[in-house]
Chains A and B, each alone.
Chain A
Amino acid sequence: MEANRSGRLRDSLHDWVGDWGGVTIDAFSAIGDMALFAWSTLYWLVSRRPRRGTLLPILYQVGVLSLPVVALTGTFIGMVLAVQSFFQFQQLRMETRLGAVINMTLARELGPVLAATMLAGRVGSAMAAELGTMRVTEQIDALSSMGTNPIHYLVVPRFLAFVMLIPALTVMAVFMGVVGGYFYSVVILGIDKHHYLYNTREFVGSWDLFYGLAKSVFFGIAMAIVSCYQGFNCTAGAEGVGKAATAAFVHSFVLILLLDLMLGISLDAVYFALWPEGSSLF
């Protein structure tokens, strides 16, 4: 009886270790796979230029078609920031500092993160579904069989489109956010225009804009690789394609948050190394 129970315990422990071991191995091999995928994207990126014909439609898809939704999100986030922080700052009689708070937040955090998230949802998952369908219907094999490398033909243009256009979309999101925040603060809440702008100019500098744009480029790289990787490794069937699209968005989003934190820490370290006496809001 006793031996039996300990035997069962040992078995279940065994299973548990085995299961977790399996999960860990799968996770590591997926990361390894993705690293190889990223490496070969880089290889084809530098070894041969993509054709104009393949790049243009994707630039249009990623950039032009994403502009409205990014602009809309930016505008509303700018206004929401004004709504949320006005009351707190009014109690301190510092409502003109809103200009600094809103625009700093937009340039450093919300602009890049929101632009990237919108792009991951609008383009990243569609891309994974498109490439996944191509994988499932053997179109990717067909490319290889005709002597065209699928990474060079399909992934490199998408990668370039993301990396080139995400800073532009971030600028758009930040700009519309600044406009939206200004509109709400000055026109609706009646904050003094002169002081609002003065505070903005005083506290928000080109470093903040650079900070946001630098982050956005990393977001773009991560999203492009994750989305294309999910598409290329799609499993058969309509379900597989759906899963690839979902995974592309979820993984991109998690990576964006993770990168945001890590880049925030390291960019701050760079800033304080360059300019030891930074300016402060208060």
Chain B
Amino acid sequence: MMMNALPPTQEQLDRPLIQVHDLSVRFGQQEVLRNINLSIPRGQSMVVIGESGCGKTVLLKTLIRLIAPTRGSVHFDGQDLAKLSEKELTSQRIRCGYVFQNAALFDSMTVGQNVSFPLRQHTNMSDREILERVRARLAEVGLPDSAMKKKPAELSGGMRKRVGLARALIMEPELILYDEPTTGLDPIMSDVINELMMRTRRHYSVTSIIVSHDMRTVRRVADRVVMICPVPRLQPGEPQMIFDGPPSELERCADRRVAQFVRGEAGERLMELRGSAAISA
């Protein structure tokens, strides 16, 4: 799927695919991301964890400029996304795949049309080729051929999510952003999707960024784990990324918030809840 005629130089291969510099995002008065710095080399698969509402989805969307940052910059393959024209930005996005948290399927189209959409927009493949590819992708995510004719509204939540996954993978992109790919799936399907992510990575040597709450996903697919903390819970002057390292270090991390997240313990948060329940009682 390389579009460039020239093979990439060594220098191009060495430079990180994504470089985030001093990124902040705010919505009105609410600060969601504060001074995030990240550098993601090619081929890495990085998992982002953090409690609900901490800004994981916002971070993912900012990486392909679906959300414009309030401050700071995102460089994709050495290019500052803010400096690109609409057209250039569009062509850079063809190199990415994005799995939306709520699938975001086109509800006026069938599953088959949804999955084949990028191919029809950006390639000149024949209908037969397209059909074959769509079939193969749907089979990978465990959906039968019969699903192809259905509308998204006729699918279950988990099936919709898998269609979204198939659609994001169909162009064999260099970078895939997964927003909670296994949430809402049964344990067996989760395992299939984890396997699929690993297989995709082996085959196409993609860079992946995965938002997940699923510790099994973290252990199986991550080379690197980043944990972000909601801005209101930060100590003054503390960076928002409270953990950045390989998954094996997660358990040994000295920060209580990280350990509690990994083990799924509410800790003092439970006390807060009990406190507010006692007040309202």
- Residues in chain A within 8 A of chain B (CB atoms): 40, 43, 47, 133-134, 137-139, 141-142, 144-149
Task: Please indicate the chain B residues that have their CB under 8 angstroms from the CB of A40 in the complex.
Answer: 86
What's the nearest-Cβ distance from chain A to residue B267, in Å? Answer: 32
CB distance from A55 to the nearest CB of B (A): 15
B61, A141: Cβ atoms closer than 8 Å: yes
* A246, B120: Cα distance in complex, Å: 34
Q: Is B104 an interface residue (CB 8 A)?
A: yes
The 5 A-B pairs with the shortest beta carbon distances in the complex, nearest first, are: A147-B94, A145-B98, A138-B104, A142-B104, A147-B93
A145 contacts B106, C-beta separation under 8 Å: no
**Cross-chain contact B90 with A142 (CB below 8 angstroms):** no
A222 to chain B, nearest CB (A): 24
B100 contacts A138, C-beta separation under 8 Å: yes
How far apart sit A148 and B98, CA to CA, in the bound complex (Å)? 13
Please pick, from B86, B96, B106, B122, the residue contacting A142 in the complex, using a CB distance under 8 A.
B106
Residues of chain B lying within 8 A (CB to CB) of residue A133: 107
**Are A147 and B102 CB-contacts (below 8 A) given A137-B107, A139-B107, A141-B66?**
no
25 contacts between A and B (CB under 8 A): A40-B86, A43-B86, A47-B87, A134-B106, A137-B104, A137-B107, A138-B104, A139-B106, A141-B104, A142-B98, A142-B104, A142-B106, A144-B64, A144-B93, A145-B93, A145-B97, A146-B167, A146-B171, A147-B91, A147-B93, A147-B118, A147-B122, A148-B90, A148-B121, A149-B90
For B104, what are the chain A residues with a Cβ–Cβ distance below 8 Å? 137-139, 141-142
Beta-carbon contact of A145 and B66 below 8 Å: yes
Given contacts A141-B66, A142-B100, contact A147 B107 (CB under 8 A): no
Tell which of A40, A139, A146 has the most Cβ of chain B within 10 Å.
A146
How many B residues face the partner with a CB closer than 8 A? Answer: 25
B76 at the interface (CB under 8 A from A): no
- Contacts A138-B102, A139-B106 given: A146-B117 contact, CB under 8 Å? yes
Chain B residue with minimal CB distance to A40? Answer: B86
Distance in angstroms between the alpha carbons of A7 and B171 in the assembled complex:
66
Q: In the complex, given contacts A141-B104, A142-B100, A145-B100, what are 9 additional A-B residue pairs having Cβ atoms less than 8 angstroms apart?
A: A40-B86, A139-B105, A142-B105, A144-B90, A145-B64, A145-B98, A146-B93, A147-B91, A147-B94
The minimal Cβ–Cβ distance linking B9 to chain A, given in whole angstroms, is 24
Known: A146-B118, A147-B93, A147-B121. A141 touches B86 (CB 8 A): no
- Please report B residues at the A interface, Cβ cutoff 8 Å: 61, 64, 66, 86-87, 90-94, 96-98, 100, 102, 104-107, 117-118, 121-122, 167, 171
CB distance from B82 to the nearest CB of A (A): 15
Q: How far is the CA of A133 from the CA of B105 in the complex (A)?
A: 12
* Residue in chain A with minimal CB distance to B86: A149
Bound-complex Cα distance A146 to B176 (A): 11
Closest Cβ of chain B: how far from A130's Cβ, in Å?
A: 8
Cα A141 to Cα B61 with chains together (Å): 9
Which chain A residues border B167 with CB–CB below 8 Å? 146
Which residues of A sit under 8 angstroms from B122, Cβ to Cβ? Answer: 147
> Which residue on A lies nearest to B61, using beta carbons?
A141
| Minimal beta-carbon separation of B278 from chain A (angstroms) | 33
Cβ–Cβ contact B98 & A147, under 8 A: no
Determine the chain B residues whose CB is within 8 A of the CB of A47 once the complex forms.
87
A residues near B92, Cβ cutoff 8 Å: 147
Residues of B within 8 A of A138 (CB): 100, 102, 104
Inter-chain contact B94/A144, CB cutoff 8 Å: no
Residues of chain A lying within 8 A (CB to CB) of residue B171: 146
Residues on A with beta carbons closer than 8 Å to the beta carbon of B94: 146-147
A147 to B245 Cα, complex, angstroms: 32
Q: Are A146 and B121 in contact (CB under 8 A)?
A: yes
Among A47, A134, A137, A149, max chain B CB count under 10 A is at A137
| Chain B residue with the shortest CB-CB distance to A138 | B104
Q: Which residue of A lies closest to B95 (CB)?
A: A147
Alpha-carbon distance A138/B96, docked complex (angstroms): 17
Task: Give complex CA distance A149, B118 in Å.
Answer: 12
Distance of A85 Cα from B117 Cα, bound (Å): 57
Bound form: Cα–Cα A138–B64 in Å: 14
A144–B100 CA distance with the chains assembled, in angstroms: 12
Tell me the complex Cα distance, A148–B87, Å: 9
Cα A134 to Cα B108 with chains together (Å): 10
Cα A147 to Cα B66 in complex, Å, equals 11
Cβ contacts under 8 Å, B64 to chain A? 144-145
In the assembled complex, the Cα of A4 lies from the Cα of B220 at a distance in Å of: 69
A47–B87 Cα gap in the complex (Å)?
A: 10
